[in-house]
Amino acid sequence: MGSSNTSEPLLDNHDELDRKETPNGNDDDVGFFKEFGPESKRLWELAGPAIFTSICQYSLGALTQTFSGQVGELELAAVSIENSVISGLAFGVMLGMGSALETLCGQAFGAGQIRLLGIYMQRSWVILLTAACVLVPIYVFSPSILLFAGQTTRISNAAGKFALWMIPQLFAYAMNFPIQKFLQAQRKVLVMAWISAGVLVLHVLFSWLFILKFKWGLVGAAVTLNTSWWLIVILQLIYIFVTKSDGAWTGFSCLAFQDLFGFVKLSLASAVMLCLEFWYLMILIIITGLLPNPLVPVDAMSICMNIDGWQAMISIGFNAAISVRVSNELGAGNARLAKFSVIVVSLTSTAIGAACLIVVLATREYFPYLFTNSDAVANETKKLAIMLAWTVLLNSLQPVLSGVAVGAGWQALVAYINIACYYIVGLPAGVLLGFKLDLGAMGIWGGMIGGVCLQTIILIAITTMTNWEKEANLAVSRVKQWGGTAAND
């Protein structure tokens, strides 16, 4: 595919139909609402399966914890801590580094350079598998790490043993996330949704069989969870290898080892950007645990974080959808459509966030009792529900703006913004309000919300002031630069 095709978007029949319904970058005569419908349809076609996929994959670890809890308290603690701390750290790093492909594959697809997608995915495999090897010592020395973090010797040893058995999952992450970004860029999200759903059903069956029926305990949990993640990887690879993914996969290539420096730089920026957000929420729980008599506020905070985590699955779907739309349109040189997609998804996700805010406030007298029988924990949760309501509203828009940043390739800029807003403003404000002003958990959370709010305002300002024509030109240059030899074949 020659470089002369760089400015010609690759469109399927569905896209051709949509572009007849939706004006191109030079047609401003059609009204906003006429444009809104087709664009909203395209976004939901991406976001719906992405949300479903996120829920299915999120449920793998959650269900493993549930089955382990049927075995005993120690098994539940071991799986919970390994999932949230050790695997959680690896998940954030791998997902973040893999997110670099959302920029590169999306823009290459929009530019019509389909062959580059397979090469980009292979380069990402090289980088993420190397990063996985670097992360292995965290699994090996996890008992000492958990002891240092304040866990008991018994729990640390059990979780550390389980972490050793979960090393295969780490390498499944390294393979899976580049594959998902590769498929997302081509809008093949239904494939991932069906595979994830099928694996989830098998995961439930084999979790019951190995953990409870055969009484394998933690060994059964590890075998089942590792197998499920690798089954997702293998089934996706079979699909890619058999279908050739409409020409995006042309086989393994030595080009995967070229131009790695730019990939590493963007991958690290993506990882830092995402991990700073993950760690921000983890620190919220840790700081709350330092309060006097922390058991009740920690339990209440955990309930609220659980609800926020499920609502986040919706935001993750929109994050993926807008990342694909922006990168595709910028790669195709359609600056106006990229900008319009941002407007549509921002309005849609904010409306959903507002609905979630209303639901949280309307049910705050009732939902705490779904998680606890303690009146003290329930009452504390009712107080925190106000903070939770504003958090779900902010978290409906903030991930979307982060998705815009990924689609446009602004990961490094957003990483700096996250450091300033979260760790220079939000975290100190939370400590000040929670401890110095004796506002407790509400003060800690209030300060953290301040950091998220500031970050969201800055991202809105950056997105609003963006020169989308310039970004489209940069996307074309990026495809040529990092496509290397393959772009000129």
pLDDT tens string 419-434 = 899 889 998 999 899 8
Single out the residue in 258, 283, 301 at which a domain terminates: 258
Residues 281 and 357 in one domain: yes
Residues 291 and 243 in one domain: no
Q: Is residue 125 part of a domain?
A: yes
**Segment among 92-96, 100-104, 130-134 with least mean pLDDT:** 100-104
Write out pLDDT tens, residues 306-361. Answer: 788 777 778 878 888 888 888 888 888 888 888 888 889 889 989 999 999 999 99
Q: Is residue 12 part of a domain?
A: no
Q: Is residue 388 part of a domain?
A: yes
On the CB side of 166, CA atoms within 13 Å amount to 31
- Give percent of the chain above pLDDT 90: 26
CA distance 90 to 140: 13
**pLDDT band with cut points at 50, 70 and 90 for residue 3:** very low
Residues 231 and 279 in one domain: no
Range of the domain at 172: 42-258
Residues 299 and 413 in one domain: yes
Residues 418 and 288 in one domain: yes
On the CB side of 219, CA atoms within 13 Å amount to 4
User: At residue 225, does pLDDT exceed 80?
Assistant: yes
- pLDDT of 15 reads 47
> What's the rounded mean pLDDT across residues 200-205?
96
What secondary structure letter does DSSP report for 22? Answer: S
Using CB atoms within 10 Å of the CB of residue 342, give its burial: 0 to 12 exposed, 13 to 18 middle, 19+ buried: buried
Reported as type and span, the H/E element at residue 276 is: helix 260-288
Residues 101 and 228 in one domain: yes
Q: What is the mean pLDDT of the chain?
A: 82
Q: Is residue 32 part of a domain?
A: no
Single out the residue in 231, 258, 285 at which a domain terminates: 258
Highest mean pLDDT among 75-84, 259-268, 293-302, 340-349: 340-349
Residues 318 and 450 in one domain: yes
Residues 345 and 386 in one domain: yes
- pLDDT of 5 reads 39
Single out the residue in 229, 258, 287 at which a domain terminates: 258
Residues 287 and 231 in one domain: no
Residues 136 and 280 in one domain: no
Residue indicated by tokens 């790490």: 145
Q: How many structural domains are present in the chain?
A: 2
**pLDDT band with cut points at 50, 70 and 90 for residue 481:** low
14 vs 207: which has the higher pLDDT: 207
Question: Which residues, 6+ apart, have CB-to-CB distance to 172 below 8 Å?
Answer: 226, 229, 230, 232, 233
**Segment among 218-222, 269-273, 322-326, 466-470 with least mean pLDDT:** 269-273
Q: Report residue 373 as tokens.
A: 């029988």
Q: Where are the alpha helices (DSSP H) in 167-259?
A: 167-185, 189-207, 217-243
Task: Tell me the residue type at 152.
Answer: T
- pLDDT of 483 reads 56
pTM of the model: 0.78
- pLDDT of 99 reads 79
Residues 96 and 74 in one domain: yes
